[in-house]
Amino acid sequence: MDSTGYFEFDKLPAKCANSYIYCPDTKDYRTNIYSVGAKGTGDGGAFVTVEDIVKFWKGLIGHKLLSEKMVSAMFSKQSGDGKDPEEGYYGYGVWIIDNPDGQDYVYMQGIDDGVSAISEYNPNNGMITVMLSNYGDNVWSRMRKVRKEMY
């Protein structure tokens, strides 16, 4: 993962995108630099690229980062009741959605002021989907559309 990290807002690397928040009173956007921490931490604030997230998934499912046994445990339901089909269950570091027609879908997600992200792995067809927004768009509704049309 060559382009992922926790960077200070006043020292962003080249090609690093700013994130924006919509302001209804002025009907335009402003950056989120005063709405989030000055530097990311374990609970958020990472800068990532689609390519790096795909590399991460491939490292996981290819057992280059963790053993097959560990990935299997990670992708197994550990908590949750599944009542909300959108949220599903929680594994170890990933969310899991029931799939009555095959293996369950596994996804990671994140949100902060001006940013949202979801990335999902479908073990039935090997599809990896990544959606990143630096405007805080609703990536979840778009992921539902991908599931409906592509799975």
In a domain, 66, yes or no: yes
Kindly tell me if the per-residue pLDDT of 143 is higher than 90: yes
Q: Return the C-alpha torsion angle 138, 139, 144, 148, nearest 10.
A: 120
3-state secondary structure 25-45: CCCEEEECCCCCCCCCECCEC
pLDDT tens-digit series, residues 31-75? 888 888 777 777 778 889 999 999 999 999 999 999 999 999 999
In a domain, 40, yes or no: no
Q: Is 68 exposed, middle or buried (0-12, 13-18, 19+ CB in 10 A)?
A: exposed
Residue 111: other Cβ atoms inside 10 A? 15
pLDDT tens-digit series, residues 82-133? 888 788 999 999 999 998 889 999 999 998 888 999 999 999 999 999 999 9
pLDDT for residue 80: 94
pLDDT for residue 72: 96
Lookup result for tokens 């999902």: 120
More confidently predicted of 8 and 143: 143
pLDDT for residue 7: 85
In a domain, 96, yes or no: yes
In a domain, 2, yes or no: no
In a domain, 7, yes or no: no
In a domain, 8, yes or no: no
Distance between CA 134 and CA 21 in Å, rounded?
9
Number of structural domains, the chain? 1
Cα three-residue angle 100-106-111, rounded to 5 degrees: 130
Measured in degrees and rounded to the nearest 5, phi and psi for residue 149 equal: -90, -25
pLDDT for residue 71: 97
User: pTM to 2 decimals?
Assistant: 0.87
Kindly tell me if the per-residue pLDDT of 14 is higher than 90: no
In a domain, 18, yes or no: no
Question: How does DSSP assign 50-74, residue by residue?
Answer: HHHHHHHHHHHHTTSSS-HHHHHHH
Domain holding 132, by residue range, is 48-150
In a domain, 83, yes or no: yes
